[in-house]
Amino acid sequence: MAGPYLNYINGRWREPRSDRWFERENPATGEVIGRFPDSGADDVAEAVAAAAGAWETWRFTPAPRRAEVLFRAGELMTAGEDELARHVTVEMGKVLKEAAGDIQEAIDMTYYAAGEGRRMFGQTTPSELPSKFAMSVRQPHGVVAAITPWNFPMAIPCWKLMFALVTGNTAVFKPSPYSPLSAFNLLRIFEEAGLPPGVVNLVFGGDQTGAHLVEDPRVAMVSFTGSLEVGREIAAYCGRNGKRLHLELGGKNAIIVLDDADLDLAMEGAVWSAFGTSGQRCTAASRLIVQQPVAAGFTDRLVARATALRLGNGLDASTDMGPVVNQPQLEKIQRYMDIGRDEGATLACGGARATGNGLNSGYFFQPTVFTDVRPRMRVAQEEIFGPVTDIITCSDLEDAVAINNDVPYGLVTSIYTADTSKAFRALERITTGIVYINAGTIGAEVHLPFGGTRGTGNGHREAGQAALDSYSEWKSVYIDYSGRLQKAQIDR
């Protein structure tokens, strides 16, 4: 983790023109892990200028050649996977096995996107006129602003940057100030892989840095993953100024447990989905909609499992759950404890900061289960982003689906049932972008679209073939070799 940690602009590591810096601490220990640039308007402008200058060359580099750089990056990530995972744990807290999954997802996405360098298929179609050929091809947008969160500090940047690059865009990458080390590592990988100067540029900083980037008129597209509130602000600006926009804004996800479910399997899915990454996933299961005949027993077992989870430093192999990312997040979670109680919910376990046993220096929060939760309570509607889940009872499948769909978000739903017909009816009626049958809400694969409905996003998708539509646009091409003027529908 040796520094110095600098911005990366036009193929060079540079100190910030702003001459401002911030420190990032390990959320499990409070130890400072590095000092990073707090980039200002001049730094952002220089990075965007570099990306704009590199675009004309990069866009005309054959896509298979662009893909070769990505393949080399994937190989370098694979070779350094253990160290990269350790750095993820140190800077944002998730346990080491989850950090290794973060790196593996980044590797998988990199290889998948690289494969599109020899595909990226358009369409050919018969023309309605003689001696005329019709087809469509993809073309890049230009400079992409990639603004990413801290909870998947390698995977999510790779979701964005790898598809942006293979389709011929250049990029300015602004990571969260709570996960700067992984961003530094990723740019070192790009540099070693032979990415030409200016194709990807890195600027560290906070909200103001991101605002400068979004508002630069040379940025053609903004890809943002983060909170609904910030996403709405970016959407308003991009709408007024005609910028292309891709948003991923969170979830209020549910696991539905019917009375015919394999309850042991459902319990494993609930614990992993609610408390994995300390609940700091957009796919976390913060609602458990349980059919009334099995609700009491399921709740008792969940509380026992939650209170048995071992909290600690994610580098310790015996740790089940690490810290939350920072003090403001810890305070936000604590406020929701009061909100839930004031609305009439009951704390079955947890509900407070975890202390003692070496936890006092970090931002640890007890695994928490609310019961007596009604579907319209704030704790059942709003994204808390911590190790907190609700038990909501339902009468039958139709009631469960109605509760599930009645939230501002629409990312992922899981249902546990042994009845195939119920599973398919649920699949038809659930309105989230992702549905799991007899599995938790965590575990999307890179070759299928990732994203959701309602407040979760703006209709675009990460991953899979759908990501190409986010980072490119269609150009229809007509080639008339008739040697005479043909007037399309008029000539018919």
Q: For 440-457, b where at least 16 C-beta lie within 10 A, e where not — what string?
A: bbbbbebeebbbbebbbb
Q: Which of 168, 153, 146 is nearest to 213 (CA)?
A: 146
Could you give the CA distance from residue 475 to residue 492 in angstroms, rounded to a whole number?
Answer: 25
β-strand partners of 410: 453
Residue 443 contacts residue 421 (beta carbons within 8 Å): no
What is the CB-side half-sphere exposure of residue 350 using CA atoms within 13 A?
A: 30
**How many other CB atoms are found less than 10 A from the CB of residue 392?**
24
> Exposed (0-12), middle (13-18) or buried (19+): which is 215, by Cβ within 10 Å?
middle
Distance of CA 79 to the CA centre of its chain: 24
Could you give the CA distance from residue 216 to residue 195 in angstroms, rounded to a whole number?
Answer: 24
Q: Dihedral of CA 483/485/491/492: which sign?
A: positive
Name the phi and psi angles at 166, rounded to 5. -70, -25
Active site residue 282: yes
Catalytic-role residue among 158, 238, 282, 394: 282
DSSP, residue by residue, 353-420: B--STT-TTS--B--EEEES--TTSGGGTS---SSEEEEEEESSHHHHHHHHHSSSEESEEEEE-S-H
What is the CB-side half-sphere exposure of residue 260 using CA atoms within 13 A?
A: 9
Residues assigned a catalytic role: 282
